[in-house]
Amino acid sequence: MSARKHRLVDCNPRWRTYDGKDDHASDALHFDCPEGHEGCSHIIPFTPALDGGAMPVQQRNGAQWQRSGDAFETLSLSPSIRRIPSYANREAAIAAGCIAEYVTDAVLCACHIFITDGKIIFCSDSR
């Protein structure tokens, strides 16, 4: 596993549309995992979209982040970004029937961060 990254610009950030369509302004941030998990990335829907328009909630759980800043170096998203993995650890994943060689750090990612003014601030439970 690589070292943690503390700046969004170091996580290969890119603007996206959360629904994958290109008929509207970008309304999501896609970036590589700042925990350094190989093959792991996160996509976060936000409002307002880059054109300033309000975006409807698009995740099934109702989560949506408020955006300020128009560049990766100044971007802030609120509230925190927290990924809850399906399994507590490697042993639990294997016990649940996962094939051992496919249980990677990306599968177990429990990244919990704030993005504030382009900086990544890790919460104490992030791993």
Show the low-confidence residues of the chain (pLDDT under 50): none
Spatial CA neighbour of 125 closest among 101, 106, 109, 102: 109
* Distance from C-alpha of 67 to C-alpha of 20, rounded to nearest angstrom: 19
Helix (H, G, I), strand (E, B) or coil at 121: strand
Structure tokens, 111: 């990244």
Q: Residue 15's pLDDT is what?
A: 97
Q: Structure pTM?
A: 0.89
Q: Residue 64's pLDDT is what?
A: 84
Q: Residue 115's pLDDT is what?
A: 98
Residues 6+ apart with CB under 8 A from 13: 29, 30, 31, 72, 75
Q: Residue 58's pLDDT is what?
A: 72
Spatial CA neighbour of 26 closest among 34, 37, 18: 18
Helix (H, G, I), strand (E, B) or coil at 105: coil
Phi, psi torsion values for 86, nearest 5 degrees: -70, -25
Domain ranges of the chain: 8-122
Q: Residue 2's pLDDT is what?
A: 67
Amino acid at 118: G
Q: Is the peptide bond before 34 cis (omega within 30 degrees of 0)?
A: no
Q: What is the DSSP string of 46-65?
A: EES-TTS------STT---E
Q: Residue 55's pLDDT is what?
A: 80
Structure tokens, 62: 């109702």
